[in-house]
Amino acid sequence: MQSSRILSFLSNKEKLIAEARRFTGSNFRRILRDGHARRRPRPCGLTVHVALNCPFACTYCYIEDMGFKFQQPIKYPLSSLETVYAIALNPYFIPGKMGTFLAIGSISEPFHPAIYENTLSLIRLINEKLGNPIQFSTKMYLNEGVIIKLSEQMKDRSISPLITIVTLKYHDKLEPRTPPPEKRFETIEKLSERGFKPTLFLRPIIPGIIEEEIDDLLEKAYEHGAYSIVVGSLRVSNKIIDRLMNAGIDVTSIIERINKPLKASEQFTIETSKEKKLIREKAEKLGLIYLQSACCANALSAGVPCYSLCFTSKICTKCPNNCPSKLPKADEESVQEVIRFLTFKLVDVEVKGFDIYVYGHFSKKKRSQVKVVLSTIFRRRVYFA
């Protein structure tokens, strides 16, 4: 039984790869070279790009430091279907509801008017062909038409919408070109009415601003139907500090937390545990589910254990998803079977609670793949002994 579950994961992936070869013809090599087919997933899952660049130029945004521009979005060079095939080809990727989490919206705004149709078609195709938990983050106002389409595409509502709102009063300075927060609260309300579990995405927390606004912000989100809240710290570079200052933001509480000189486009995460504690107390008092990581919101929406195994660390806030109760079975034989499939090697393994120990030598690249794939399929931490 366990063995057939594992084999179905792997054979679904093989089928998708065969389909990609069949339908993409001479484009297959181009797809194989794409970042979606190669990059290692981040802790919150595999980031999926619909576009490059973003015209909103939020003052705290770090995409410029990553080499992207505050310009009109350029559609991603692969079509939606090609992107889905590229994801399937990724050696770290496992398809299915218990597979790799997919996160849309890290280097652009996925519902910008110029690209939202591509985003919707990508979501539809991921759902149809891969079936993985999907999450998106947005600052756009999603109108009725978009939400109806999402509802039709995601009948089981297993998509996690993160609606970013970090300020009410300083919106003009921090996000001068985005729709105002009021419109985003409307988005939360509409999503909630349609049965989704919208999350207030309070990232980045901006010290010096959040203390003043937190009550209002949380109350509004709750009143409009937010199901949970995900918080995240501010990441700054020299450029971001300059932009904040030029916008007239008091950066004293930010600068006093930077304990070293920053190199050119180096990013530094501002410590915000004090603010997070305050937000948690207030959010839970209201009845919002407090989460410390975006992957937990995705897990909660999909009803599966967290992809980045937050339940094994202090990040877990013991939300109703109760990941430990949903862990797949992991026995030595199944773990060996996956390793043999990936490496053609039979090695000793041990499974202890949330941990898997692998006794074998692999190249650095193979080791990395084995680690990610085992952790995804079995939702356990993987150690090489």
Long-range contacts of 4-11 (CB under 8 A, 24+ apart): 5/328, 5/334, 6/334, 6/337, 6/338, 6/377, 7/337, 9/94, 9/95, 9/96, 9/98, 9/99, 9/377, 10/338, 10/341
Regarding 71 and contact with ligand SF4 (CB under 6 A), the answer is: no
- Contacting range for ligand SF4; rule: CB under 6 A; set: 57-65, 152-160, 186-194, 362-370: 57-65
306-325 mask for ligand SF4 (x: CB under 6 A)? x---xx----xxxx-xxx--
Regarding 202 and contact with ligand SF4 (CB under 6 A), the answer is: no
CB 322 → ligand SF4: shortest distance, Å? Answer: 5
Please check whether residue 335 is in contact with residue 356, taking contact to mean a CB–CB distance below 8 angstroms: yes
Regarding 108 and contact with ligand SF4 (CB under 6 A), the answer is: yes
Q: Which is nearer to ligand SF4, 58 or 335 (CB)?
A: 58
d(Cα 123, Cα 359) in Å, to the nearest integer?
39
Tokens, residue 50: 């619909």
d(Cα 94, Cα 91) in Å, to the nearest integer?
8
> Which residue from 159, 191, 279, 299 is in contact with ligand SF4, where contact means CB under 6 A?
299
DSSP state of 350: E
d(Cα 122, Cα 200) in Å, to the nearest integer?
23
3-state DSSP call for residue 371? helix
CB 47 → ligand SF4: shortest distance, Å? Answer: 12
Tokens, residue 375: 């952790």
CB 3 → ligand SF4: shortest distance, Å? Answer: 26
Radius of gyration of the chain (CA): 21
d(Cα 275, Cα 205) in Å, to the nearest integer?
8
Total residues at interface with ligand SF4 (CB under 6 A):
24
Q: Which is nearer to ligand SF4, 288 or 291 (CB)?
A: 291
Regarding 291 and contact with ligand SF4 (CB under 6 A), the answer is: yes
CB 56 → ligand SF4: shortest distance, Å? Answer: 4
CB 366 → ligand SF4: shortest distance, Å? Answer: 28
Q: Which is nearer to ligand SF4, 102 or 296 (CB)?
A: 296
CB 218 → ligand SF4: shortest distance, Å? Answer: 18
Q: Which is nearer to ligand SF4, 54 or 251 (CB)?
A: 54
Regarding 240 and contact with ligand SF4 (CB under 6 A), the answer is: no
DSSP state of 108: S
CB 202 → ligand SF4: shortest distance, Å? Answer: 13
- Contacting range for ligand SF4; rule: CB under 6 A; set: 226-234, 294-302, 330-338, 345-353: 294-302
129-158 residues in contact with ligand SF4 (CB under 6 A) are: 139
Pairing, β 355-359 against β 348-352: antiparallel
Measured between alpha carbons, how far is residue 46 from residues 43, 295, 335 in Å?
8, 11, 22
List of residues contacting ligand SF4 (CB under 6 A): 54, 56-58, 61, 63, 108-109, 139, 178, 291, 296, 299-300, 306, 310-311, 316-319, 321-323
